[in-house]
Amino acid sequence: MTERITIKDISKKLKIHHSTVSRALRNSPQVKEETKKRIVKYAKKHGYKVNMNALKLRGTVKNVIAVIVPNINHDFFANIISVITDMAYSKDYIVSVFQTNESIELEKKVLDSVIHNNVAGVIASVSMQTTTSDHYKNLKKYNIPLIMFDRVIDSIDVPKVETDNYDIVAKVVKDLFQKGRDRIVHISGSDKISVFRNRINGYQYMIKKLGIPYNNNYIADNGFTIEEGKLAAKRLFENKIQPNAIICDSHLMVIGVFSQLKEMKISVPDDVSIISFGNNPSLSALTPEITYIVQPVTEIAIASFDLLIEKIKQPDQSSNDKIIFKAMLN
Amino acid sequence: MTERITIKDISKKLKIHHSTVSRALRNSPQVKEETKKRIVKYAKKHGYKVNMNALKLRGTVKNVIAVIVPNINHDFFANIISVITDMAYSKDYIVSVFQTNESIELEKKVLDSVIHNNVAGVIASVSMQTTTSDHYKNLKKYNIPLIMFDRVIDSIDVPKVETDNYDIVAKVVKDLFQKGRDRIVHISGSDKISVFRNRINGYQYMIKKLGIPYNNNYIADNGFTIEEGKLAAKRLFENKIQPNAIICDSHLMVIGVFSQLKEMKISVPDDVSIISFGNNPSLSALTPEITYIVQPVTEIAIASFDLLIEKIKQPDQSSNDKIIFKAMLN
DNA sequence: CTGTTAGCGCGTTCAG
DNA sequence: CTGAACGCGCTAACAG
């Protein structure tokens, strides 16, 4: 069980001062080629690797990007993390992931942990319970740049990357109405979260604009699961006035809705049109009856990452850019 | 833009030596209650947070666990990462994720990076191209414990967590045969990867044992995608002798197979039984015609994590435990 | 109970 | 071209 080899070890063996070794290993021009070769050769042979922790302590380098999401295990977020990880890697950063499990308590602890670890920057999407923002604002005190994406907090002054939820939902409502659907339900999440609020507002706006009397915004704040989707479908079709179109905010819930309708012998899309947010190619392959609203995941991830890098390089510019992507119907 | 507050800052302001401050902050019994209170109060007020990098450099603490997977954006792996992240967090570790994109070149670089960052330990599943193990063996030189899961390398002497792929595939073949299926195809990955080799062997074993003349092991080594699944289905049904059962190793490919069969008006499960590996609840909800082989993801993640912690605490015990979980049919 | 000193691994002065 | 000395933030060992 050998110990990790350090610059000092090399310097001792080669009887060269450790500062020279350091220079040689960074290929400094101010070291004689010959000694440089000797040092590099020895280092390579014995598997010398810089200890990033030392660099981080000195403050010259920070190479960790923290990504905070409600659930890693969720198509959208897994995609985001995947893209960010690749990009980060190509720029010599590594990615640490944090999961809040939709709990604000955990989220607060996570932010503490992020600060402890003195990361280079943070890319975050908030939990379903997050209505206050102090724990995020806290990052500023420690000079840790923050970018928010998708589920953002409006009241916080940082760059944000979002999808135009308002627009797309409004558009969907309009499309449905033009196809003759006049009882359109919107299944959404808590209106305390910006994403869902925007979708709800988009829905309400268009419903009113078109003068549709039926207005039904179903809030599922018990979490987005297949079971909750089934439950929602049951409830919605218990009423006398039954919907003929459903806009669903969750790719998981919509599966529940879909199977429940099948069970109840309600035909999709003949009796009921279904439109759902979702980015999973398997699901869209399997349920062509459902139209999916696809968010540009890759673009969102890239934009978030780029913004963060910018912030890391130029921390002082209080840029509160807001990048808004269009969603698409597939 | 204030700088991060350190122990020394506190010690200066309070005119107490920084070592005393350090002790107070760690609630050492050898500091007078009064001074302790003063210090803690001041620290709290000014948002003091230990700098983990300093601790890491000293070597007293290592709090980063690296998880290396082929794709973060893959049900199985996203699940694993999710569970590990939660467990890690509860034990004061944070998780850095690394993605090899199925490339051994990238994998080698990733391992370098892991060593650079001097992590506490590594939990890994290898890429599809990984046939050599030197880069993993390298970790040992730097005293970084390694646990492998699912896609493991047999020739490397570390604890491993696997699913009994051989058994489950053999069992599936037997079941199918008992139900009258005598032309069973197995769609698998490269036999250079232990997981797939085991599945292939399980298949071959049972085919031979039962004396089934039809023996068709389809290797999809272009990656597991929906498209590849379609392609596979096309090819398989071009032949004169057509399969009446398909065992598929990939939840993504099977979607392709499934839609292709639909297109070709081949009925599932009447004409062809389909059994596939896969852990996605949405998919199984949508395709009840397909029987899924479910791996105990949570258990695998927990076992891997526990083994790693054990290794971290007791690095010297050269335990090469092998934990093998049973897969289940749903 | 508190202060002093030293060192984790490294890079960057500043001298020579 | 190379060596000596210092400090990043923190803790442990030693001294008082």
Flag residues of chain A having pLDDT under 50: 1
Residues A111 and A77 in one domain: yes
Residues A274 and A287 in one domain: yes
Q: How far apart are the C-alpha atoms of B236 and B242, rounded to whole Å? A: 7
Query: Touching check for B328 and chain A: CB below 8 Å?
Result: no
Check B79 against A64: CB less than 8 A apart: no
Within a domain: B1: no
Contacts of residue A67, Cβ cutoff 8 Å, sequence gap at least 6: A80, A81, A84, A95, A96, A97, A98, A122, A123, A124
Residues A289 and A170 in one domain: yes
Q: How many CA atoms lie within 13 A of A126 on its CB side?
A: 31
How far A42 CA sits from the closest chain B CA (Å)? 16
How far B120 CA sits from the closest chain A CA (Å)? 12
Residues B43 and B100 in one domain: no
Residues B182 and B266 in one domain: yes
Within a domain: A183: yes
Residues A60 and A209 in one domain: no
CATH number at residue B176: 3.40.50.2300
pLDDT (mean) for B187-203: 93
Residues A24 and A125 in one domain: no
Q: How far apart are the C-alpha atoms of B327 and B318, rounded to whole Å? A: 28
Residues B206 and B279 in one domain: yes
- B62 CA, D16 C1': Å apart: 34
Q: For B72-85, what is each residue's pLDDT tens digit?
A: 999 999 999 999 99
Residues B290 and B302 in one domain: no
- Which strands make up the sheet holding B216-219, listed edge to edge? B216-219, B184-188, B245-248, B273-277, B290-294, B328-329
Tell me the residue range of the domain where A14 lies: 7-48
pLDDT at A78: 96
Residues A170 and A128 in one domain: no
Q: For B49-71, what is each residue's pLDDT tens digit?
A: 999 999 999 888 899 999 999 99
CATH number at residue A39: 1.10.260
Is the shortest CB-to-strand distance from B12 to strand C under 7 Å? no
Per the listing, tokens 């807001």 go with A322
- A53 CA, C9 C1': Å apart: 8
| Confidence band, pLDDT 50/70/90 cuts, at residue B2 | low
pLDDT (mean) for B215-235: 91
Token pair listed for B243: 């399969």
pLDDT at A179: 95
pLDDT at B327: 96
Within a domain: A2: no
- List protein-proximal bases of chain C (any atom < 7 A from a CB): 1-13
Query: Touching check for B252 and chain A: CB below 8 Å?
Result: yes
The number of domains in chain A is 3
Q: In whole angstroms, how far apart are CA A11 and each of A179, B141, B143? A: 78, 20, 22
Residues B14 and B34 in one domain: yes
B1 pLDDT above the threshold of 80: no
- Provide the residue type at B5 as one letter: I
pLDDT at A1: 47
How far A329 CA sits from the closest chain B CA (Å)? 20
Residues B201 and B286 in one domain: yes
